Amino acid sequence: MAKKKRKTFQKSQLLSIFQNGNYQKVISKIKQFEIEGMSDKELYEIKLSSYEQLASSNFDVGDVTRALRDIESFLSISDSEPYRLIKLKYLCYLEYFEDAVKFGEELIVSKDNKIKKEAMFLYLLANIYEGNYELNQKYLKLLSPAKQNYTLGFVEFLRGNIDKSLEFLHKCNPRIQVEKENLQAIKSIILNEKMVCSDTVKPLYRFLICGDDRSLQNTKNSRAIKKEVLSKFFKNKKESDMKNLLSLKSSISIETILNNTIKDKEQRKKLIYNNIVLLIEKQGNYDKALELFVKYKFDLVLMVESALLFINLRSHTEDKKSDKIIIEFFSNYFKLHYKKLSEFQLNCVFIFLVKNINTQIDITITFDLIKEYGGDDVIFLLKEIPLMSKLEPSYQDSFSKIVKRYSYFKNIMLTNLSNQLESIDKEFETLAKEEREPLVVRLILLISLLKNLQQPHKKYQKTLFDIFGNLALVCQSFELKKYKKLYLELAESINVFIDYYGVNKIELSVDIKALFVSIDKGKSLKISKVNKYDNEIMFDFLSKMFEEEDDNSDRYDFDEEEYDFSLIKKDLISALKNNQDPFALRFNKLNAYRYSNVIYGFILDVIAKAIEFNRYDSLFVVKLLVFINLQVEDEFFREKLVSAVGVYAKKDVDVAKLFLYDCITNVDMKDRKYVWYLKWLEGYLMLVADYSLPQDGAFYSCLHHFKKTQEKKKFKSLDAKYKKIVKKFKERGGLFD
Amino acid sequence: MIKKTPYQILELEGDFEYSDIKKAYRKAIKEYPPEQHSKQFRLISDAYSSLTNEEYFLKNLDDSKFIFDVCIELKKETKVDNSKYLKNIFEVPFKI
């Protein structure tokens, strides 16, 4: 029977596969087909190259079994020492140490010195891994010093002599940088130290240092330990993820947090919170942060910090998906945390709630919620005032109470009222006629409430005048003749505030000026289509203003405290002048004002007058302080004395210096060791120096005591001052203490 | 460094009331008087002010600084001793 002819394959096709790097396919084609047009020599060369390449690439990806198979195929057609050396290497990597020792014996007698040395190194190592730690010194000496030291170090390591092993490894100093790095990696593994691994570090070392198993040789032993090592790294990675999260290096997925070994509910909610913070702070990803907030709202609501986080998130994103959780979230939040919050924090939340009302149903629920948690002022300013149809008896008191004390959030609410009036003006033309009459009623009620406000805080001045400006705008939409009361009420109310705040009429807004001009001319400028910015109108306003200008000396001083102090001071000085006992007088308000910021100016002015009228003695300061109910040891007094004296010194340095010195000498002996007291002394010394006053006995006493006490106490906060003083002043000795 | 929330700085946890903030502040400054612990004292004062002083609160609100992180104590990372595996798997630091 005729032999079946082998199928053929084109040489060009085979070369193309070879060039594409598909060496396995090249080998398989050669096995299956007769290659047409290719000589035996060419076929031989291409087979060798393919086996060589296959072995090398398989080894590089960690498939040492295939690499060994390929190199053996290579050797079956071309036996050469360099490739046998490669086989020896693969046998070692495959942990076939017994075979390696046998195979190595042939190579260590090679005539090629380079191959001999390399083979010797592998041969010795294969013996060591086999458990034979007794090294053949003759063979060992053939190796380079670096390899000798490594081999000795490795044997000591296997024997458990870590210190000795490290000694050899330290001595091992290969020339190539990559080898140095790999040696460092072994030392790090032995010492259990952290190391950043580059890609040039050998796969086993990289794997043992950071759990990166890329290109790790796939052997029986490596498969066995891989799971064990990776699980350790996985556990540590989770912990380092957490650390990164906590140190705000990078965020992690919420699932990682929830699936983490941290079972503690308290910690989990904190981790979720931190992750959201991280998304905001490091990545600015408010949308994702808000999404997580909504998802984990039940965890987060347990934290008192969560409300502000939510408000902050909402203020940075247009996302409306979280709208539906607002009321539910804050209902739960208030139940848990209401008692922990300050008034301003509550107001902040209340305003947020009102600003985010989206449906009619929400209005009632939101206002009920706010009312339940004490937001009556908010309800009053944001709901009751804008919608009032009659003046409830409590309104005036409520409004006066609200504006008596300044608060930023109340100011926001008043601004909101002002803005509403501005909107009414803009949309006035669209208002139905039947809505206009009730609007006038509401406006008059509001004007009346404003007019009768009792002592609104000075910080509300701008907002209140904005409200008046917008009221004036709205008024102008109504016919003056028909609604004269509205115009007059508003003008009267504005005049009350002009007097109260001492406002210069020229500085009034153009809308208010236009209102006054309208009243004067008997017609609405807006309806008459007169431009309120017309110079003639402003001229009319100014003329009218100058006509009305009267003596403003009785104008109310809105700084009540300052006003009261000036009265008390006047009486005290009068007593000093008339040789009466000033401290026999009684002023109820003085006690309440004793921690006022103007108290020092008051004291120093009185002292200056006492000196002027020759009524001052060393006990005057003590008597005055007792009279005010202040003590030199009061925290308020202690902290502000030096700076207040410094301010007054610009006006009268002698009085300032005398006062400070008398305060210093009136401090109880037992208190003269404290920082605040040394600060007084330092203040006194610097006052003398700054104003180039004579350095008398009092000065040197202060200097001596300051230095002595600071040397003993060594207050860190005074260290720099001490050095400065030592450098600046030479001590003369003192008797102060 | 992990920042703490004002509540954490003042060690306010669980079921406390607004009035407890002042007590916590007093306790904290007693423990960290400014003369000896100026840095910690500043932190404590900042925390107290941001919870009780509207102007201070607003200043922080403008800077979005009120988003603090919460401090969590984690177990120390366990060191992975993998040196024993050097015995099992063949590798050399040299190019061969």
CA–CA separation, A162 and A169 (whole Å): 10
DSSP string for residues in A247-282? TTS----HHHHHHSS---HHHHHHHHHHHHHHHHHT
B16: nearest CA in chain A? A340
Contact across the interface for B68 and A305, Cβ inside 8 Å: yes
Question: A273, B70 in Cβ contact below 8 A?
Answer: yes
Residue A240 has pLDDT above 80, yes or no: no
Question: A521, A533 in Cβ contact below 8 A?
Answer: no
Question: Any CB–CB contact under 8 A between B66 and chain A?
Answer: yes
Measured CA distances, A197 to A181, A202, A449, A669 (Å): 9, 9, 75, 66
Q: What is the mean pLDDT of residues A19-34?
A: 90
Residue A565 has pLDDT above 80, yes or no: no
Contact across the interface for B66 and A308, Cβ inside 8 Å: yes
Cβ-nearest to A225 among B16, B71, B88: B88
Residue A119 has pLDDT above 50, yes or no: yes
Residue A735 has pLDDT above 50, yes or no: no
pLDDT band at A22 (very low <50, low <70, confident <90, very high): very high
- Residues 67-96, chain B, touching A (beta carbon < 8 A): 67-72, 74-75, 77-83, 85-96
Q: What is the mean pLDDT of residues A489-504?
A: 89
φ, ψ for residue A35, nearest 5 deg? -85, 115
pLDDT band at B1 (very low <50, low <70, confident <90, very high): very low
Please give the pLDDT value at position A481: 86
Domain assignment present for B93: no
B chain contacts of residue A202, beta-carbon cutoff 8 Å: 91-93
Contact across the interface for B74 and A174, Cβ inside 8 Å: no
Question: B16, A340 in Cβ contact below 8 A?
Answer: yes
Burial class of residue A719, CB neighbours in 10 A (0-12, 13-18, 19+): exposed
Interface test with A, best of B2, B82, B88 (most A CBs within 10 A): B82
Please give the pLDDT value at position B80: 66
B chain contacts of residue A157, beta-carbon cutoff 8 Å: 83, 86
pLDDT in tens, A687-712: 988 888 888 888 888 888 888 888 88
Contact across the interface for B77 and A239, Cβ inside 8 Å: yes
Measured CA distances, A460 to A171, A263, A500, A551 (Å): 80, 52, 12, 26
Cβ-nearest to A248 among B52, B57, B69: B69
Measured CA distances, A343 to A116, A353, B6 (Å): 87, 15, 17
Domain assignment present for B80: yes
B chain contacts of residue A229, beta-carbon cutoff 8 Å: 80, 82, 85
Cα torsion A274, A277, A283, A285 to 10°: value is 120
A715: nearest CA in chain B? B35
Q: What is the mean pLDDT of chain A?
A: 84
B chain contacts of residue A225, beta-carbon cutoff 8 Å: 85, 88-89
Alpha-carbon gap: B68 to the closest alpha carbon of chain A (Å): 7
- If one counts the domains in chain B, the total is 1
C-alpha radius of gyration, chain A, whole number: 46
What CATH number is attached to the domain comprising B27? Answer: 1.10.287
The boundaries of the domain holding residue B17 are 6-87
Cβ-nearest to A305 among B7, B58, B89: B7
pLDDT band at A65 (very low <50, low <70, confident <90, very high): very high
State percent of chain A over pLDDT 90. Answer: 29
pLDDT in tens, A244-266: 655 555 566 666 656 554 556 77
Alpha-carbon gap: B11 to the closest alpha carbon of chain A (Å): 13
**Amino acid found at A397:** D
B chain contacts of residue A342, beta-carbon cutoff 8 Å: 18, 51-52, 54, 57
Contact across the interface for B68 and A221, Cβ inside 8 Å: no
A184: nearest CA in chain B? B93
CA–CA separation, A310 and A329 (whole Å): 10
State percent of chain A over pLDDT 70. Answer: 88
Cβ-nearest to A190 among B61, B83, B96: B83
CA–CA separation, A287 and A645 (whole Å): 54
CB atoms within 10 A of CB A642: 20
Please give the pLDDT value at position A273: 86
DSSP state of A90: H
Question: Any CB–CB contact under 8 A between B22 and chain A?
Answer: no
Contact across the interface for B78 and A235, Cβ inside 8 Å: yes
CA–CA separation, A611 and A615 (whole Å): 6
pLDDT in tens, A332-365: 999 999 999 999 999 989 988 888 887 777 788 8
**Amino acid found at A722:** Y
Domain assignment present for B94: no
Domain assignment present for B1: no
Domain assignment present for B96: no
Alpha-carbon gap: B72 to the closest alpha carbon of chain A (Å): 7
A chain contacts of residue B81, beta-carbon cutoff 8 Å: 192
Residue A557 has pLDDT above 90, yes or no: no
Cβ-nearest to B72 among A176, A246, A344: A246
Question: A21, A54 in Cβ contact below 8 A?
Answer: no
Question: Any CB–CB contact under 8 A between B63 and chain A?
Answer: no
pTM of the model as a whole: 0.50
pLDDT band at A66 (very low <50, low <70, confident <90, very high): very high
Alpha-carbon gap: B9 to the closest alpha carbon of chain A (Å): 13
Please give the pLDDT value at position A647: 86
Contact across the interface for A303 and B38, Cβ inside 8 Å: no
Cβ-nearest to B35 among A118, A225, A715: A715
pLDDT band at A17 (very low <50, low <70, confident <90, very high): very high
pLDDT in tens, B39-76: 899 889 989 988 998 888 877 665 544 555 555 554 55
Contact across the interface for A717 and B68, Cβ inside 8 Å: no
Contact across the interface for A179 and B95, Cβ inside 8 Å: yes
Q: What is the mean pLDDT of residues A72-80?
A: 92
A315: nearest CA in chain B? B64
A chain contacts of residue B77, beta-carbon cutoff 8 Å: 236, 239-240, 243
Cβ-nearest to B2 among A183, A217, A246: A246
Residue A600 has pLDDT above 90, yes or no: no
DSSP state of A374: T
Q: Which of A253-262, A383-392, A653-662 has the lowest mean pLDDT?
A: A253-262
Cβ-nearest to A89 among B82, B83, B96: B96
The residues pairing with A36 across neighbouring beta strands, listed in sequence order, are: A10
Contact across the interface for A267 and B72, Cβ inside 8 Å: yes
Q: Which of A30-34, A631-635, A724-728, B26-30 has the lowest mean pLDDT?
A: A631-635
Q: What is the mean pLDDT of residues A38-65?
A: 92
Please give the pLDDT value at position A553: 37
Contact across the interface for A308 and B86, Cβ inside 8 Å: no
Alpha-carbon gap: B42 to the closest alpha carbon of chain A (Å): 13
Burial class of residue A40, CB neighbours in 10 A (0-12, 13-18, 19+): exposed
Higher pLDDT, A637 or A73: A73
B chain contacts of residue A716, beta-carbon cutoff 8 Å: 35-36, 38
